[in-house]
Amino acid sequence: MQASRWSPATGTLGAITAEAEGRAAALQSRRLELERLSHAAPPGPSLRAALSGHTVSVIAEVKRRSPSKGVIAETLDAVAQATAYAAGGAAAVSVLTEPAHFGGSVDDLIAVHGLVALPTLKKDFHVSDLQLLEARALGASAALLIARAIDPDQLIHLMRVGRELDLELLVEVRDEDELERALAAGATMIGVNNRNLETLEIDPATCDRVIPLIPSHVIAVAESGVRTRDDVERYAAIGADAVLVGSSLSASADPVAATRAIAGVARRNRGR
């Protein structure tokens, strides 16, 4: 995908990305500290390895609110929630660190990483190498990159920074062009989001269309709209290796049981 075919994100994604750029700029004064901490921190357990088992892995998300749903679980305790996910059979924990729209913080990531043995995904709107340095310094196993939010050259740059830091990266896409760009940048894990983050609308056919196109050596993660075991079974049938589940698990009165209910679905290889 050529840079000329990319334009800055609009709508909700555009607004949150602009705010993320401001948060990233605020880290500039800490660059030397973050470089030192990121190189000193031991690597977290591999997210990619955790998603490579015989069942469709569950990445369970700590999520207090969102632009699309509003308040989900405002008083949610990140460590208690992540511990419940682990007990229910989750393969990894996604921790939202975006503060204004999702109610997250880096303190949540620090706490979960320190007390829960599962790989942690730092879920945020990462636009700068400074944010990846921060993720590595905080002990995250991986960080999210949203292809629609990052210009093509910056995506390539951030993928290179991730490799240099030994920080795994999950690249989120929503169509074939973004998939092509993610693969060209060297993505080894790709999340396909049914939700258009610019309009916040969900198109359930997005995963159906894009996941079968992901090469079999690349981990494919279905995102948005996963609530039941039937949903996981449907994504298994199209070749998903994992599902990322946030709202339904975070809102559950029994997150152990809710996680257990969607874990353990047999994984099916994507044919090529």
Cα distance between residue 190 and residue 209, in whole Å: 14
List the CATH code of the domain at 8-262.
3.20.20.70
Catalytic choice (57, 61, 94, 128): 61
- Which ranges constitute the DSSP H helices of 27-144? 31-40, 47-50, 78-88, 99-102, 106-115, 129-137
Catalytic choice (98, 134, 168, 172): 172
pLDDT at 2 (0 to 100): 45
Residue of 117, 218, 128, 133 lying closest to 167 (CA atoms): 133
pTM for the model stands at 0.96
Model confidence pLDDT, tens digit, residues 47-68: 999 999 999 999 999 999 999 9
- Verify whether residue 33 is a known catalytic residue: no
pLDDT at 269 (0 to 100): 83
Catalytic choice (223, 247, 248, 250): 223
- Verify whether residue 172 is a known catalytic residue: yes
Model confidence pLDDT, tens digit, residues 73-130: 999 999 999 999 999 999 999 999 999 999 999 999 999 999 999 999 999 999 999 9
Q: Render the burial of 122-138: b for 16+ CB within 10 Å, e for the rest.
A: bbbbbbbbbbbbbbbbb
Catalytic choice (38, 66, 141, 193): 193
Cα distance between residue 93 and residue 113, in whole Å: 9
- Verify whether residue 216 is a known catalytic residue: no
- Verify whether residue 63 is a known catalytic residue: yes
Cα distance between residue 122 and residue 134, in whole Å: 10
Q: What is the mean pLDDT of residues 120-149?
A: 98
- Verify whether residue 123 is a known catalytic residue: yes
Question: Cβ neighbours of residue 159 under 8 Å, at least 6 residues apart?
Answer: 145, 169, 171, 185, 186, 187
- Verify whether residue 61 is a known catalytic residue: yes
CA angle 269, 271, 272 (to 5 degrees): 140
Residue 72: phi and psi, rounded to 5, are: -110, -50
- Verify whether residue 201 is a known catalytic residue: no
The answer to whether residues 122 and 135 touch, using CB atoms and an 8 Å cutoff, is yes
Place of tokens 């679980």: 73
Residue 271: which pLDDT band, with cuts at 50, 70 and 90?
Answer: low
Structure tokens at 93: 């924990």
Catalytic choice (66, 224, 248, 250): 224
The answer to whether residues 251 and 224 touch, using CB atoms and an 8 Å cutoff, is no
Residue 4: which pLDDT band, with cuts at 50, 70 and 90?
Answer: very low
Catalytic choice (57, 63, 194, 248): 63
